[in-house]
């Protein structure tokens, strides 16, 4: 059965956020490669075995914007972790005054995503771009996990939320998530666009995440209300 059309759309998001946002480099302290490289080496040293290949498990933006070339991809299930908007984004998809939210893996439940197989000739060089992207903002922790796929289990690197980070938002209500995602925008674009592209990618891959699906509908509703409000105020101001 074909999935229902999304309530959220790029057109609706663009109408709600017509003005570009300037980058603020001071909004988020980023780790340098000199700090990141030893952490990646330590992560690779904890890799149980190289026999099964080098894999990365994607569940959010890596589904639609991977930071690496890959030789194989498998839809799979990760147990013990669930996908949730629980990481504040004060840059890129938000501002310090109005932080956006991005996805992290938090404890409990299950998560359907994609395991990507990467070239294993030089693991450090291969993983460094995605390690930099995910780890430089100190919002995630690297972790080796077992992903169940139709072709058998694989050990993959993934990025779980860092609960010790000041960016960790905890478990917000769906209403609060929708409000924040609908209103936040950074120099890379609105937080709602990040949600849209993730849900769109999941739908394309046959991954149905009920929470994401209901959240995109709530965000679409908030955006429509925001787009309608200026017109409503204009009409109320017209002489009777």
Whether pLDDT at 49 is above 80? no
Whether pLDDT at 112 is above 90? yes
Question: Sign of torsion, CA 101 103 104 105?
Answer: positive
Mean pLDDT of 14-28: 95
pLDDT reported for residue 229:
59
pTM over 0.75? The answer is yes
189-212: b or e for each residue (b if 16 or more CB lie within 10 Å)? bbbbbbbbbbbbbbbebebebeeb
Cβ atoms of residues 174 and 221 within 8 Å: no
pLDDT class of 222 with cuts at 50, 70, 90: very high
pLDDT reported for residue 239:
44
Q: For residue 179, how far is the Cα from the chain centroid?
A: 17
pLDDT reported for residue 3:
59
Whether pLDDT at 17 is above 60? yes
Q: How far apart are CA 46 and CA 210, in angstroms?
A: 34
Mean pLDDT of 98-115: 98
Q: Which CATH class is domain 10-16+31-227?
A: alpha beta
* Average pLDDT along the chain: 93
pLDDT reported for residue 240:
39
3-class DSSP state for residue 141?
strand
Whether pLDDT at 158 is above 70? yes
pLDDT reported for residue 143:
97
Residue linked to tokens 């990141």? 36
Note the pLDDT tens digit of each residue in 125-140: 999 999 999 999 999 9
Q: What is the CA radius of gyration of the chain?
A: 19
Q: Where are the domains of the chain?
A: 10-16+31-227
Catalytic residue among 134, 193, 200, 238: 134
pLDDT reported for residue 209:
94
Note the pLDDT tens digit of each residue in 58-105: 999 999 999 899 999 999 999 999 999 999 999 999 999 999 999 999
pLDDT reported for residue 1:
46
Mean pLDDT of 174-190: 97
Task: Identify whether 72 is a catalytic site residue.
Answer: no
Whether pLDDT at 235 is above 50? no
Whether pLDDT at 33 is above 50? yes
Helices in the chain by DSSP H: which ranges?
Answer: 10-16, 33-45, 123-135, 174-183, 191-205, 210-237
Strands 140-149 and 100-118: unpaired
Whether pLDDT at 233 is above 50? no
Cβ atoms of residues 143 and 81 within 8 Å: no
């Amino acid at each position: 059965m074909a999935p229902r059309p999304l309530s959220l759309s790029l057109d609706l998001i663009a109408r709600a956020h017509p003005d570009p946002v300037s980058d603020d480099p001071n909004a988020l302290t980023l780790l340098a490669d000199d700090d990141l490289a030893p952490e990646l080496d330590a992560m690779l040293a904890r890799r149980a075995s190289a026999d099964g290949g080098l894999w990365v498990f994607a569940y959010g933006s890596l589904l639609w914007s991977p930071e690496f070339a890959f030789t194989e991809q498998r839809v799979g299930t990760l147990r013990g972790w669930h996908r949730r908007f629980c990481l504040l984004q004060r840059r890129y998809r938000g501002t310090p005054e109005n932080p956006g939210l991005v996805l992290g893996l938090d404890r409990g439940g299950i998560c359907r995503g994609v395991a990507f197989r990467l070239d294993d000739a030089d693991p450090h060089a291969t993983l460094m771009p995605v390690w930099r992207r995910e780890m430089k903002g100190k919002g995630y922790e690297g972790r080796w996990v077992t992903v169940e796929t139709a072709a058998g289990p694989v050990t993959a690197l993934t990025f779980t939320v860092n609960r010790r980070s000041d960016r960790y938002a905890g478990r917000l209500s769906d209403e609060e998530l929708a409000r924040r995602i609908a209103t936040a925008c950074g120099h890379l674009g609105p937080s709602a666009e990040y949600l849209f592209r993730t849900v769109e990618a999941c739908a394309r891959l046959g991954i149905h995440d009920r929470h994401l699906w209901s959240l995109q509908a709530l965000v679409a509703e908030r955006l429509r209300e925001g787009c309608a409000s200026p017109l409503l105020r204009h009409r109320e101001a017209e002489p009777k």
